[in-house]
Amino acid sequence: MTHAPRPIHVIGGGLAGSEAAWQIARRGVPAVLHEMRPLRSTAAHKTGGLAELVCSNSFRSDDAEGSAIGLLHAEMRRLGSLVIQVADAHKLPAGGALAVDREGFSAAVTAALEGDPLIDIRREEVLAPPADWDNAIIATGPLTSPALAEAIRALTGEDALAFFDAIAPIVHRDTIDFGIAWFQSRYDKAGPAGSGADYINCPLTRPQYEAFVDALLDGEKIAFRDFETTPYFDGCLPIEVMAERGRETLRHGPMKPFGLTNPRRPQEKHYAVAQLRQDNKLGTLFNMVGFQTKLKHGEQTRIFRSIPGLANAEFARLGGLHRNTFLNSPKLLDATLRLKAMPRLRFAGQITGCEGYVESAAIGLLAGRFAAADRCAERPLLPPPTTAHGALLGHITGGHVETIDSGPRSFQPMNVNFGLFPPLGGVGRGAKKQALCARALADLDAWIGAAVPHAAE
Ligand SMILES: Cc1cc2nc3c(=O)[nH]c(=O)nc-3n(C[C@H](O)[C@H](O)[C@H](O)COP(=O)(O)OP(=O)(O)OC[C@H]3O[C@@H](n4cnc5c(N)ncnc54)[C@H](O)[C@@H]3O)c2cc1C
């Protein structure tokens, strides 16, 4: 008589944990997914749904020939990712980006996992991984519950570095003045689900921009102890922190006017443009792209309504400030994401030091596969370092150079980017990204089809 394998425990049903549980079940191994919501929530989650998107609804560029994140999407499609499959099914118009209807996306991930006979979902907070879990994945994310964070800190002997990031406000579309604002994607790019006219654009003259920057700098911020020395999640800097870095920073960042033409005044180039992107399937809500903030709520309403087109804006959600937690992974984790000091525990998602929804899911995908291979007494297959998965894994588990002085540790969460890939010789600058993408997909296909497993270090 053959026995079913013992289950693998996955703690956290976010982007990484949901993907990990799915991958484990695809190998015929049972998974128990422990998610504390809705019994206990975090400072950013709003629902009890699995794989909830806490801020933007964008999975960023879907260009698999010229962007590292688009390449990661393409690889995940080839690897049978649940997260990307569901994102594709729930995509919204967003220029060249893959953006999703957040509620439909989360509901579909939840339904897929609930409907899988090999996955047992338990709604409970795990305070510490019990000693009899011989194969577990911790995917509790940047907002890991304090009790578990403390248990992890005790296990690793490290100060789990906490840092902070901010979320962007969301506006009701019917409160935007379309006598001023207009729909257009930058350079009219249509992208995976778009029409080329997917963003709402609000134009600013130079005096309006200057006044806006002044208001951001003077606006009352949420007071925070030791705040000024707190490192932020770099892809999500508060808008007022960007403004502090220089008066022109926003004009070259989220408020850049390039590739946009106001249909009412086509000859005129605006000094700056604020953009809003569709946030839900109904098209009733739009989020202010790059406007994550730690301004007080009253200040946000006052300052953001000074943007032309938003004078009467009603906000479905205002921006906020949240904690982030991640491990010093290059030191603590082995090549297959296991805690060196306790290999029965594996980590996945943003807590490992990747950054972003897609990257978190991709690391969940790998952790799920590695854990299932362990359970099946196989040697886990490491993705080639030339692939986006391999490059990201390398950043987390080995590629990073630790600081050599006594300053703060230098390992920081990072989005996937071409700087993490082994360089390609003999290719001109213009063709480099395309060549890196082509090499990655060819190597990934070879890896998927590999008959002889690579040995994990
Ligand atoms: C405020 C904020 C804004 C962000 N904005 C963006 C963005 O716009 N775009 C982007 O790409 N990335 C963003 N990120 C970064 C990050 O990639 C996402 O948070 C992503 O969801 C991380 O995936 P994850 O699976 O690692 O964690 P999560 O998706 O957060 O999932 C972790 C899960 O674990 C659960 N959990 C925690 N502790 C326990 C416990 N003890 N027991 C059981 N369950 C537990 C949580 O409830 C949660 O469901 C943001 C992060 C934060 C905090």
Label residues 211-224 b or e (16+ Cβ within 10 Å = b): ebbebbeebebbee
Name the helix (H) or strand (E) containing 78. helix 68-78
The residue type at 328: N
Q: Is 408 exposed, middle or buried (0-12, 13-18, 19+ CB in 10 A)?
A: exposed
Q: pLDDT tier at 116 (50, 70, 90 boundaries)?
A: very high
Q: Is 335 exposed, middle or buried (0-12, 13-18, 19+ CB in 10 A)?
A: middle
Q: pLDDT tier at 158 (50, 70, 90 boundaries)?
A: low
Do strands 272-278 and 285-288 pair parallel, antiparallel, or not at all (unpaired)? antiparallel
Q: Whose CA is nearest to atom 5 of ligand 1?
A: 55
Locate 421 and state its tokens: 């890939």
List the one residue out of 115, 109, 111, 87 whose CA is nearest residue 281: 87
User: Could you tell me if the CB of 21 is within 6 A of ligand 1?
Assistant: no
- Torsional sign, CA 433, 414, 15, 119: positive
Mean pLDDT of all residues in the chain? 89
Dihedrals phi, psi of 110, to nearest 5 degrees: -60, -45
pLDDT value at residue 320 = 78
The DSSP line for 265-315 is: STTPPPSEEEEEEE-STTS-EEEETT----B-HHHHHHHHTTSTT-TT--E
Give me ligand 1 centre to Cα 140, in Å.
Answer: 7
| Closest ligand 1 atom, residue 321 Cα | 1
Mean pLDDT across 155-166:
67
pLDDT value at residue 223 = 67
Q: pLDDT per residue over 86-112, tens digit each? A: 999 999 999 999 999 999 999 999 999
Q: Whose CA is nearest to atom 30 of ligand 1?
A: 141
User: Could you tell me if the CB of 45 is within 6 A of ligand 1?
Assistant: yes
Q: How far is CA 187 from CA 78, 151, 352, in A?
A: 30, 49, 36
Mean pLDDT across 377-385:
94
Do strands 91-92 and 31-35 pair parallel, antiparallel, or not at all (unpaired)? unpaired
